[in-house]
Amino acid sequence: MTEATQIHGVLDSHGEKAAELQSVYVYEAPVRIWHWVNAAAIVVLATTGYFIASPLPSTPGEASSQFLMGYIRFAHFSAGYVLAVALLMRIYWAFVGNEHAKQIFYLPVWDRKWLSGVLYEAGWYAFLVKQPKKYIGHNPLGHLVMHLFMLNLAFLVVTGFALYSEGAGRDSWQYKLFGWVFAIWPNSQDVHTWHHLAMWGVILFVIIHIYTAVREDIVSRQSLISSMISGERVFRDEADK
Is residue 236 within 8 Å of 27, Cβ to Cβ?
A: no
Q: pLDDT digit of tens for each residue in the chain (241 aa)?
A: 333 333 445 555 544 444 455 788 999 999 999 999 999 999 999 999 999 988 877 767 676 667 888 899 999 999 999 999 999 999 999 999 999 999 999 999 999 999 999 999 999 999 999 888 888 889 999 999 999 999 999 999 999 999 999 999 999 999 999 999 999 999 999 999 999 999 999 999 999 999 999 998 888 888 888 899 999 988 876 544 4
Domain residue ranges in the chain: 10-234
pLDDT tens-digit map of 137-148: 899 999 999 999
**Which H or E run contains 144?**
helix 140-168
Selection from 41, 68, 39 nearest residue 52 by Cα: 68
Cα gap 45→76, rounded to integer Å: 5
Q: Domain 10-234 is classified in which CATH homologous superfamily?
A: Transmembrane di-heme cytochromes, Chain C (1.20.950.20)
Q: What is the model's pLDDT at position 9?
A: 53
Rg (CA), the chain: 21
- Provide the pLDDT for residue 24: 87
The residues facing 135 across adjacent strands are: 11
